[in-house]
Structure 1
Amino acid sequence: MDDLPRRPINKEREVDVNLQVASLLGTNGQWDVTKLIHLFPENEVTRILHMQVGNVHDRDVWAYSPHGSYTVKSGYTLATKLKEAEAVRDASEFVEVLELKRLIWKVPTIPKIHIERLNTRGLELDTCCRICKAAGESIEHALFNCTMAQEAWNQRSLTDLLTAYLKFMPDETIPFAQRKAIPWILWAIWKNINMLLYADTQESITIQIVHGMNEEEKKWVPPLPGYVKCNIHSNWRNAKLHSGVDYIIRDQSGNVLHHARDALTFSPNRVTSELSCLVWTLEIGFYFKDIIEAVKKPNDWPLFRALLQLISSLCARFRSVAFEVESSASNQIAREIAKSVLCDGHFQSYLAFGGPAWLHQRILREAAPISS
């Protein structure tokens, strides 16, 4: 994506300023490749063909975020870039000075200097610790020296354990819960510091640690009785490669009814790849009669409205469809099948009853707790 929106580069010297997207579409509603090649150079044609088109109404799209909706972060980034561009344009003689400032900003230094630099950019940050009021707060202070950090370490008695982290993690003589808690303690302390700084609130460190450990243990959850569950995954690497996609359908006992795998054509970004994977799954599911925030709130994702409208129309053909977000840990089977497309070069699409033989044991292990 360009830093600033621009018109495509034209082959011809005279440009039709009234040219509309509709003029570049064929009778089938898709891009007319012949017209594109006639008007634009090859690299621009490739970029245009990666854009999804559909029978959707025109609407304003914010060009500076991945999903097409305005966010404060994207607005601040744009304002910063425009200010920098204006400074370079109006004071070209100071280019060397600006470059020197960039080099100084990259010099490894103590966090306090970074905070002072952020203060000059309009962020009034206090360098004192908000918890114990100690001056010159640093990462070391927040994680180890602050009174709250020391309290957390004293509760768990893991200071010595952290010192020999790599050595003690495989040691089965140490209770598993203590070994597993080490990274979550650091995460909970750091999260609490940020919440106090920016939201002026705190949460129980113990509750955060327990919640984090529970999140890590997420496993595949079966569907409700009478329903089936379809896990999908899209393995996207970059805009130049195919995307590996798959779905696997299981019943409430964990039995695999059927699964499918395919390689989709190039997608310009991860979201397009994931939405295309969902379209592919719904189309196959409809024929056999048998990303989630974007599907639930399509108006917040205007950049992908053509795909989202197609998903909506496909969902209407089913008697009942529900979407839920799966964590990486609870979606391992679908992830492994999708990854095999790119990792192992399995570009041949197929649909099969049951699960893949090479994942048979893992599927049984996921279904075992349900049977018991």
Structure 2
Amino acid sequence: MLPGEVDDCYVGLFKTWGLHSIVDGASVTRGSGAKCSEERIWKILTLPNIRMFLWRAVSSALAVAERLKSGGLGVEITCKLCQGGTETINHVFFQCPTATRTWSDVGIALPIASLQCSLEDNLSFAFDIMEDKSRPQTLVRTVPWVLWLIWKNINSIMYAETQIYQEKLLRDMIEEVEQWFMLNNAAPRDTVERPCLQNCDRWLPPEEGLIKCNIHANWRSTALHSGIAWIARDQAGNVSHHARDAITHAPNRMVAEIRYVIWSLTSLSDIGVTKVIIASDYNEVLKEKFAMVAFEGETITANGIARDIAKSVFRDGRFQSCLALGGPSWLHDRLAREKN
């Protein structure tokens, strides 16, 4: 690592400019309620950008007047739409008459106590609706989009000076929700992850037409070596192929696990397997590091920013490893556009 031109100093963890504030301390000690809500967000079936938007809401990282004021900007904190309260994240989504009217038009009645409840409590109410099996599925699915609609509508009125009929906004939102679930064929996450297999102590066959490939890495910490193997079987339990190998320079078990997943997929592709279920006990490793891990497919356009950062390595000669807060300065405009 090359030495920098700035002297060593203590910096705040949550600020790119290095200063620590009371807000930073509060963000560390927000309590279990916010942490619980954050964990629930990553399991919500919705667009990735809406999921990130919800995470920003729970983390108090949305640009409402109260947040801007606490960051040192001299802004008026009264809600510009209703003039009846402080423009907090909680007020914008659950207490402003514009927001409560949107919830009502969708068919969700906010509890009277929401006016006195905290942001965590009100968000928990919204998240609970998404898990309420007694409500119509079409209603339950719209909740993330309702929050997103409220936020976009307020920004459109305040900054773009554009106001669209509420009926059209709701109609477009419902159509978008239906299209997303139809295109993604989104089933509840518990169904996708097949929890029944996690509690079964015997091997179970795949569905007809699929190959089930069990994989494992036997990591040895002393030598940083790992023995890796996979075995593929069909619905009748007949073995089609198996493979084994040794890998080196795996500093921990998680690295070994990820490398052998790539190795097994490459091997299966080489022998012409096109429909496969990868079965492993590496969930234990992931749970040690993460509260939740999910993989999503993106189009080339939707994944454009990550692709451009990767291309810059060769294009601009950026061969030094880098891990930094925030995004690259040369992509700030595109990142800002994608947030909306």
The TM tier, using the shorter chain, reads 0.3 to 0.5
The higher radius of gyration belongs to 1
- Normalised by the length of structure 2, the TM-score is 0.35
Higher relative contact order (CA closer than 8 Å, sequence separation 6+): 1
